[in-house]
Amino acid sequence: MKSIIISFTIFVLMIFCIIFSVNYLNHICTRLQDSNLQVEKSIQLNSWDEAYKNSQNFTTEWKKYSPKLAIFSDHDEMEDISNEMRKLTQYINHRDSEESLSSTNVIQNSLKRIMEMQRLNIENLF
């Protein structure tokens, strides 16, 4: 009887930890997506100084949250976002709107994929 109670307690604890970690991951990705959208809006308005400032803010947030995201997600996705972030800064410096918008789109899609891969559903469990 004791082992059943201990096993059930561990199971319930694991479920709560999984739910907490998925919610935390979604919160981080949403913050990063919002920051990336600010960069995109600045580029669309041809406000290059503001776009550069917003890209620096995104870089700061990325450096803050990327170690935590690395626990949950594929490292290839993390590397893709880091590479696109570096490209984005250079495209903004050279005022290349097409490439800048393309990089913001790649970052946005990578963040969406991270959230989708960690979503609680049957497909991800098995």
Q: Is pLDDT above 80 for 125?
A: no
Is the four-CA dihedral 46, 111, 27, 66 of positive or negative sign? negative
Q: Where are the domains of the chain?
A: 25-125
For the domain covering 25-125, report its CATH number: 1.20.120.290
Closest CA to 81 of 115, 126, 50, 44: 115
pLDDT digits (tens, 9 = 90+) for 56-110: 999 999 999 988 888 878 788 889 999 999 999 999 999 999 999 999 999 999 9
